[in-house]
A and B are shown apart, each in its own frame.
Chain A
Amino acid sequence: QLQLQESGPGLVRPSETLSLTCTVSGGSISTSSYYWGWIRQPPGKGLEWIGTIYYSGSTYYNPSLKSRLTISVDTSRNQFSLRLSSVTAADSAVYYCASEVGSCSGGSCYSKYYFDYWGQGTLVTVSS
């Protein structure tokens, strides 16, 4: 069973860059069976998909965040990371990483668009 764990600073200054890492255990990040995603949840509010990465490095971003967002993968460390630049208070949220079920057919792989394993989440506050 996969386990995911987020790590990174809990406090980020406005206009700076938020950086988080998700460490995957219980399986390899370099598998065609999974994509890897980030989701966030502002306090007391709903869930928002941030972006997704495949082990090959292919990325899929929420268009509303795309200009500030970079998601990368480090297969040697079984980790994937999130960088969100120019943050404001509106970026304060619990950030979750999650595994996203994938499937391959006829040489093409695709996500099935749902998240089956989640990290516990990490609260990031943007404040001076």
Chain B
Amino acid sequence: QSVLTQPPSVSGAPGQRVTISCTGSRSNIGAGYDIHWYQQLPGTAPKLLIYGNNNRPSGVPDRFSDSKSGTSASLAISGLQAEDEADYYCQSYDSSLSGYVFGTGTKVTVL
């Protein structure tokens, strides 16, 4: 049961900037729990992309950034590249469910 809602798909031309929204509620994002983002390339395991307050693991380019406001968060990809074509998931903690929750997932297509 996904309590974090993402758009099913977004697309953009190479070099463009795209954003992926992650809409939650007062029991997760709105409660102040951190949002984390994962990238899943076709046929592979998810990879941590951003954690906490806009922190990137080593090797993740600074083209990826996130922001949070109220009960929503967003992932931005600037300078879109063909290699960015993947599924993206947000993730947080939900106090009502007493567990970790993932977003519904967004497929990014590079035109």
A76 to B21: give the CA distance in the assembly, Å. Answer: 43
Provide the B1-45 mask, 1 if CB < 8 A to any CB of A, else 0.
Answer: 110000000000000000000000000000001101010000011
30 contacts between A and B (CB under 8 A): A39-B102, A46-B2, A46-B102, A46-B103, A46-B104, A47-B46, A47-B91, A49-B99, A49-B101, A52-B100, A60-B99, A61-B99, A62-B99, A63-B99, A64-B1, A96-B45, A112-B51, A112-B52, A113-B36, A113-B93, A114-B34, A114-B48, A114-B52, A115-B36, A115-B48, A116-B51, A116-B57, A118-B45, A118-B46, A121-B45
The total of Cβ contacts below 8 Å across the A-B interface reads 63
User: Which residues of chain B from 24 to 81 have any CB-CB distance to chain A below 8 Å in the complex?
Assistant: 33-34, 36, 38, 44-48, 51-52, 57
| Interface residues on chain A, number (Cβ under 8 Å) | 23
Q: Specify the main secondary structure of chain A where it touches its partner.
A: strand
The residue on B at minimum CB distance from A101 is: B51
- Give every chain B residue within 8 A of A63 (Cβ-Cβ): 97-99
- Give every chain A residue within 8 A of B38 (Cβ-Cβ): 47, 115
The residue on A at minimum CB distance from B91 is: A114
The residue on A at minimum CB distance from B37 is: A114
| Contact with A47, one of B52, B89, B93 (Cβ below 8 angstroms) | B89
- Give every chain B residue within 8 A of A64 (Cβ-Cβ): 1
| Interface residues on chain B, number (Cβ under 8 Å) | 27
Q: B89 to A46, Cβ gap below 8 A? A: yes
- Give every chain B residue within 8 A of A120 (Cβ-Cβ): 44-45
Nearest Cβ in chain B — how far from A3, in angstroms? 12
Provide the A79-104 mask, 1 if CB < 8 A to any CB of B, else 0.
Answer: 00000000000000000100001000
- Give every chain B residue within 8 A of A37 (Cβ-Cβ): 100
Q: B102 to A112, Cβ gap below 8 A? A: no
Nearest Cβ in chain B — how far from A62, in angstroms? 5
A62 to B99: give the CA distance in the assembly, Å. Answer: 6
A63 to B101: give the CA distance in the assembly, Å. Answer: 12
